[in-house]
């Protein structure tokens, strides 16, 4: 008598390819990275087991910790800007384009989502041209509305470089949370809004008191996807500021810090073991954030059966 239940063949046909792909391209590289972070590599290329020594160096050794904590803090600011700018804008636009009275809603959705389809390298190059203080058009455009005196080399200044790149990222990816929220709004039956309207509720009150509570699970999903995406960010900052994430590492985030640590940059040599340690810390940061979301936020969001 077998202790294992018999699994229908059609279940195996659908599950095995996905499990194999996930194991080969996701689970095993993650496990291998975590294992690599427990080793040290000498000048000859030989690796020696050192346990958690690399984590101690990364977190507390001044040579490594200054760069790591700077990248972590910048990454947190990068995420906060997206949460405070991108997601509220997405919610507002989704509420507008889901209104049946708005003409040309499909066109607006397409135009807003279009930058998401562009290559990050193209986006970075275009915005560098636009914001260039010598031949960019941004100063001229600001001059049309009388704000040219506020123009500056935002990408070249430490206080504004990270904020500027974060806003560029918002411009490119605002369409993704927009479509998620828009889809959730479409799933709300019209009968609820019609009944509230008959009872004398204004469109604004209908949105805040009826529609918004019903899409809170979607907003939570958008928030956690924003968190994961921002703490995995790399390509936009690299395409605009390069591997050094200047000026003076003011735009350095965990992705660019990992790149320099693992592969090296310019005259500095890379360290696969320390790079794996940085990657492991990125994984732990994302894991902790996701756990906090699921245990403190997701469980409190009430899902309504419509």
Q: Tokens 């930058």 belong to which residue?
A: 115
CATH top-level class of 70-300: mainly alpha
- The mean of the pLDDT values for the chain is 89
* pLDDT of 304 higher than 70: no
Contact 238, 259 (CB under 8 A): yes
Distances (CA, A) of 150 to 41, 80, 92, 145, 240: 50, 24, 27, 11, 22
Taking only the tens place, the pLDDT of each residue in 167-198 is 999 999 999 999 999 999 998 888 888 888 88
Nearest one of 236, 233, 241 to 265, comparing CA atoms: 241
Distance CA 81, CA 221 (A): 17
User: What 3-state class would DSSP assign to 52?
Assistant: coil
Taking only the tens place, the pLDDT of each residue in 224-238 is 999 999 999 999 999
Domain ranges of the chain: 70-300
Upper half-sphere CA count for residue 35 (Cβ side, 13 Å): 7
Distance CA 212, CA 224 (A): 18
* pLDDT of 220 higher than 80: yes
């Amino acid at each position: 008598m077998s202790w294992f239940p018999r699994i229908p063949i059609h279940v195996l046909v659908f599950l095995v390819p996905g499990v194999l792909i996930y194991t080969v391209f996701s689970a095993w590289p993650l496990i291998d990275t975590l294992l690599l972070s427990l080793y040290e590599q000498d000048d000859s290329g030989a690796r020696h087991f050192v346990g958690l020594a690399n984590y101690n160096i990364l977190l507390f050794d001044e040579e490594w910790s200054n760069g790591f904590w700077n990248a972590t803090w910048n990454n947190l600011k990068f995420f906060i800007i997206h949460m405070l700018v991108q997601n509220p804008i997405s919610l507002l636009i989704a509420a507008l384009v889901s209104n049946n009275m708005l003409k040309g809603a499909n066109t607006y959705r397409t135009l807003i989502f279009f930058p998401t389809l562009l290559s990050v390298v193209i986006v970075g190059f275009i915005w560098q041209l636009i914001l260039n203080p010598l031949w960019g058009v941004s100063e001229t455009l600001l001059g049309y509305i009388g704000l040219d005196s506020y123009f500056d080399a935002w990408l070249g200044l430490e206080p504004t470089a990270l904020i500027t790149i974060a806003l560029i990222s918002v411009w490119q990816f605002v369409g993704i949370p927009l479509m998620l929220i828009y889809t959730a709004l479409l799933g709300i039956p019209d009968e609820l809004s019609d009944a509230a309207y008959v009872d004398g509720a204004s469109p604004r009150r209908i949105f805040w008191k009826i529609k918004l509570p019903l899409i809170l699970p979607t907003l939570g999903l958008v928030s956690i996807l924003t968190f994961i995406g921002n703490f995995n960010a790399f390509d936009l900052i690299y395409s605009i500021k390069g591997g050094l994430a200047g000026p003076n590492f003011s735009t350095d985030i965990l992705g660019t810090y990992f790149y320099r640590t693992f592969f090296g940059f310019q005259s500095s040599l890379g360290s696969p073991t320390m790079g794996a340690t940085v990657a492991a810390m990125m994984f732990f940061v994302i894991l902790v954030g996701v756990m906090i979301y699921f245990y403190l936020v997701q469980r409190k969001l009430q899902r309504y059966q419509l």
